[in-house]
Amino acid sequence: MRAPANDIVRDAATVEARVKVAVVYYSATGHVADIAREIAETAEKAGAEVRLRRVAESAPPEGVDSTAATDGTPLAAVEDVVWADAVLMGSPTRFGNIAAQLSQFLATLGGAWRKGELADKVYSGFTSTGSPHGGNESTLLALMHSFHHFGGIVVAPGFTHPAKFADGNPYGTAHHDAGGTVSVGDVTRNAARVQAERVVRLARALASATV
């Protein structure tokens, strides 16, 4: 027996409300934090419930921007990742790899991984580097290694929107700050919005298919 049309509409709205997005990042200078906030705001506008979280700082104070390290964003916990339907993670590059701080957080997810609590979620990544080709692609690809181990569904923005041709990175949003002199601008913000909207849309489709 077919459900009444109004029930179908209510069911669709319920599925939309169930889409939960965690944006987890490490930022030493504030650039990755700016991207994270843009992604979080866009995901909320797209109808998702969002948790914006930073990972704990482990570097000595002289090695980081204290404003970026203590910007009032709550610290990330394993439960934030378990809770989410979609997880976007961000890190500056460290010699072509993710920062140790985010790597340490990923190491805390082992128990949840063993329980199968990280599988079947949508995952995506973002980064910032000192130069246009200063490891941004390799950093994003390195982050994806963990997503694959989780049994996650990796959703890269690809070249699916004109804004991605301007940003030039199909693997995720990537800013370059020219050695700390260039703040996050429209090119990066537009790319971040494309990525966030795509992640929310596909996470919602996945939730609809598995209800």
pLDDT digits (tens, 9 = 90+) for 127-162: 999 888 788 999 999 999 999 999 999 999 999 999
% of the chain at pLDDT higher than 70:
85
Using the predicted structure, report yes or no on whether residue 123 has a pLDDT greater than 80: yes
106-135 mean pLDDT = 94
> How far is 16 from 18, CA to CA, in rounded Å?
5
User: What pLDDT, on the 0 to 100 scale, is given for residue 130?
Assistant: 87
112-138 mean pLDDT = 93
Using the predicted structure, report yes or no on whether residue 187 has a pLDDT greater than 50: yes
CATH, domain range 19-210:
3.40.50.360
What is the pTM assigned to this prediction? 0.88
The H or E element that residue 36 is part of is: helix 31-45
DSSP 63: G
**Pair 156, 172: CB distance under 8 Å:** yes
User: What pLDDT, on the 0 to 100 scale, is given for residue 67?
Assistant: 55
Angstrom CA distances, 17 to 153, 178, 196, 210, stand at 20, 40, 16, 14
186-210 and 5-17 helices, crossing angle to 10°? 130
Hey, how many other C-beta atoms are within 10 angstroms of the C-beta on 115? 10
User: Coil, helix or strand for 86?
Assistant: strand
86-93 mean pLDDT = 97
Express each pLDDT in 58-80 by its tens digit: 866 655 555 555 578 999 999 99
> How far is 143 from 125, CA to CA, in rounded Å?
7
Burial environment of residue 58 by CB neighbours within 10 A (0 to 12, 13 to 18, 19 or more)? middle
